[in-house]
Amino acid sequence: IIQIQGLWTKFGPVVVHEDLNLEVQPGDIVSLVGGSGSGKTTLLRQMLGLEHPARGCVRVLGEDINGCGSVRRQQLRNRWGMLFQHGALFSALTALDNVAQPMRELRGLPEDLIRDAALLKLAMVGLTPKDALKMPADLSGGMVKRVALARALALEPELLFLDEPTAGLDPDLSESFVSLIRGLHQQMRLTVVMVTHDLDTLFALSSKIAVLAEKRVIAMGTPEEVIALPHPFIQQFFLGERG
């Protein structure tokens, strides 16, 4: 569902990715891990078409994200959802309107249908119709994340991108958010690509882990496969942090 071949990303003289390759299969939950500044967020931005490769090709949902025109790219954007690290809700809109907004941008849907669909999405993440009328400032941190997730899923995407999904949540909230994502992954037949620093989230969710180091993906496989690799960076990263 995603193929990245020979990707180079440069910011002026700084080379972030050098001949990086990565393939994501449909249905996978792939986590991108690596040290600080290893280029995880930039790689996610490449998949979203928000950065331009200096060289190489990023194919998402069968299309070269940089080679297709802007209309085609917009169509692709309707087939993926993105959960930003801090939720990034519109503060002047209710939870319901936050979820309805991407639906409204697609023309031709009657308002009552949009409202019902948005309420349904909010119910899927555990929010009641009463919560739906609240403003983001009146919601708890955990609820804001849930609304943001409902919004990312508003257009029934095939692909879901998550940037640090459990950042800022306490361990209990993290755990319930992780089970929510796991349930929705199954229910909606999603493919998920995520960046996370949290090893509990990583091991609870990932079907595959891609390790970024030395400007490329140095290893990719199931969590068991990856942690068994004798590479010093990998051993330090997983076992060092777990103590």
Q: Nearest distance from residue 172's CB to ligand ATP, in Å?
A: 24
Stretch of 33-41, 64-72, 102-110, 231-239 contacting ligand ATP, by CB under 6 A: 33-41
Selected binder of ligand ATP within 6, 26, 27, 37 (CB under 6 A): 37
Would you say 50 or 109 has its CB closer to ligand ATP?
50
Would you say 85 or 176 has its CB closer to ligand ATP?
85
Selected binder of ligand ATP within 1, 7, 20, 34 (CB under 6 A): 34
**Residue 43: half-sphere exposure toward Cβ, Cα within 13 Å:** 36
Would you say 131 or 198 has its CB closer to ligand ATP?
198
**Tokens (6 digits) for 119:** 């309420």
Q: Nearest distance from residue 58's CB to ligand ATP, in Å?
A: 14
Task: Report how far apart, in Å, the C-alpha atoms of 101 and of each of 62, 74, 114, 119, 243 are.
Answer: 27, 15, 9, 13, 44
* Cβ atoms 21, 219 nearer than 8 A: no
H or E, element range at 7: strand 2-11
Alpha-carbon dihedral sign for residues 185, 51, 215, 85: negative
**Tokens (6 digits) for 169:** 């949540």
Give the residues across from 212 on adjacent strands.
Answer: 34, 217
The reply to whether 91 sits near ligand ATP by the rule CB under 6 A is: no
The reply to whether 36 sits near ligand ATP by the rule CB under 6 A is: yes
Selected binder of ligand ATP within 28, 40, 49, 149 (CB under 6 A): 40
Question: At 195, is the secondary structure helix, strand, or coil?
Answer: strand
The reply to whether 48 sits near ligand ATP by the rule CB under 6 A is: no
The reply to whether 41 sits near ligand ATP by the rule CB under 6 A is: yes
* Distance (Å, whole) CA 212 – CA 34: 5
The reply to whether 240 sits near ligand ATP by the rule CB under 6 A is: no
* Chain-centre distance for alpha carbon 76: 15
Would you say 40 or 146 has its CB closer to ligand ATP?
40
Would you say 32 or 132 has its CB closer to ligand ATP?
32
Stretch of 34-42, 111-119, 125-133, 200-208 contacting ligand ATP, by CB under 6 A: 34-42
**Tokens (6 digits) for 13:** 């003289």
Question: At 178, is the secondary structure helix, strand, or coil?
Answer: helix
The reply to whether 50 sits near ligand ATP by the rule CB under 6 A is: no
| Sheet of 63-64, strands arranged across | 14-24, 2-11, 55-60, 63-64
Selected binder of ligand ATP within 4, 16, 209, 218 (CB under 6 A): 16
Binding site for ligand ATP (CB under 6 A): 11, 14, 16, 34, 36-42
